[in-house]
Structure 1
Amino acid sequence: MRHPNSRTLHAYWDARRRGGSAPARADIAPQDLGALLSNLFLLRRMDQDHHVFRLAGTGLCRLHQREFRDQNFLSLWSGHDRTLISALLEGALSAPAPASALADAVTLDGRACAVELSVLPLRGPEGQIDRVLGLYQPLDAARLGGRPVVRHRVSLINPARLPDPSVSVFAGRSRTLRPQLAANDG
């Protein structure tokens, strides 16, 4: 975690879990996180492919120039980046442990801004760890020139734990490992 807001949220989450694996959603008080609210979001896991926004801060909505309530968080990502972010969320929920990523938020005209994404697992009202408290922290939003973000590219993942051993992540690059075929025509 690079940004001070990410560290603040992690310290708050850690204090709220009181030695347990994850705090309950009810233990998170928005008024405690006033300075972070505009970039916070809350997701509920419906299944592996659907992590639905329950709340989305005004800063997050403003950067994308749209509302997110009841939309799938994974719709912000495509292709391999979507697979990586899905693995990040699933790992954070199954571990349970905080996880983070760096990504480029990109406008239609190609302007980009680095974004730090922090995800922290929460217990829902039934006691299951099926929610994520997240922070979408732009590192230099002025670079976007007021244009809406239309896509994201993952540049770094710091997983809680990857649920799929075929997914490998490392600084500056992400890829899926596939068996290599070799010809022996020699």
Structure 2
Amino acid sequence: MRHAQSKALHAYWQTRRQGGAAPHRADIEPQDIAGLLGYVFILWRADPQHHIFRLAGTHLCDLYQREFREQNFLSLWRGHDRTHVQAVLEASITGCAPASVIARANSLDMHQLPVEISFLPLRGPSCTIDRTLGLFQPLDTTDAFKGRPVVRTSLREIHPPAMPGHIFPGLAVDDRSGVKKVANDQ
């Protein structure tokens, strides 16, 4: 995670875990993260194809000029971007580890805003890890978007959970060269 706000949310998430795999949704206190709430969101995993907004901050809704409650987070993405974001979300939840992506939010008149989107797994009411605490952190000013909604979100970078081979089994990185290799071809 790059941005100071993303790091702050990650640090808070770590403290709320209390030694467990993931904190409970009820352990997240809005007053503890008051400065981040405008871009915070919480998703509920209904199934692998549906990560539903349970909560979305006002700044996030204003940026897209729509209400997100009960909407599928994956609907923000198209084609391969959607597939990759779904894989990152699923890996974060199943591996109980934070992940993030860097994306570009675009308006109809081609204004662009780089954003970092963080994913931190949470336990729901049944104690199952089926929630995601997220942060949609702009990496630049949002001034160019006044009155212009984001109409497309495109993926630029993926920072999956720190679990080698979890998302893409068989993919290994040579520590000496940094070159990615398929395990079967080594």
Equivalences for residues 37-186 of structure 1 within 5 A:
37-140=37-140, 141-160=142-161, 161=163, 162-165=166-169
Q: Residue by residue, what CA displacement relative to the aligned partner does 1:80-134 show, whole Å, maximum 9, x if unpaired?
A: 1000110110010011100001000011111110000000000001010000000
CA contact (8 A) 1:105 1:113 kept: yes
Instruction: Return the letter of the residue paired with 1:135.
Output: L
Q: Secondary structure at the match of 1:38?
A: helix
1:39, distance to aligned residue in structure 2 (A): 0.2
Moved more, 157-166 or 100-109: 157-166
- Give aligned-pair identity as a percent: 56
1:147, distance to aligned residue in structure 2 (A): 1.1
Q: What stretches of structure 2 of length at least 5 have no aligned partner?
A: 173-181
**TM-score by structure 2 length?**
0.86
Task: State the alpha-carbon separation in 2 of the partners of residues 157 and 146 from structure 1.
Answer: 29
Q: In structure 2, do the counterparts of structure 1 residues 165 and 145 end up closer, same or farther at CA, with 3 Å as the change threshold? A: farther
Task: State the alpha-carbon separation in 2 of the partners of residues 167 and 87 from structure 1.
Answer: 15
1:144, distance to aligned residue in structure 2 (A): 3.1
Q: Residue by residue, what CA displacement relative to the aligned partner does 1:50-73 show, whole Å, maximum 9, x if unpaired?
A: 000000000000000000000000
CA contact (8 A) 1:92 1:98 kept: yes
| Aligned residues: CA RMSD | 1.7
1:152, distance to aligned residue in structure 2 (A): 0.8
Q: How many residues align?
A: 169
Task: State the alpha-carbon separation in 2 of the partners of residues 80 and 116 from structure 1.
Answer: 18
Q: Secondary structure at the match of 2:97?
A: coil
Task: State the alpha-carbon separation in 1 of the partners of residues 135 and 152 from structure 2.
Answer: 17
Q: In structure 2, do the counterparts of structure 1 residues 65 and 166 end up closer, same or farther at CA, with 3 Å as the change threshold? A: farther
Q: Secondary structure at the match of 2:118?
A: strand
Q: Tell me the residue number matched to 1:173.
A: none
Q: What stretches of structure 1 of length at least 5 have no aligned partner?
A: 169-176, 178-186
Q: Tell me the residue number matched to 1:13.
A: 13
CA contact (8 A) 1:87 1:164 kept: no
**TM-score by structure 1 length?**
0.86
Task: State the alpha-carbon separation in 2 of the partners of residues 114 and 167 from structure 1.
Answer: 28
Q: Tell me the residue number matched to 1:184.
A: none
Would you identify which runs of 4 or more consecutive aligned residues in structure 1 move more than 2 Å?
142-146, 161-168
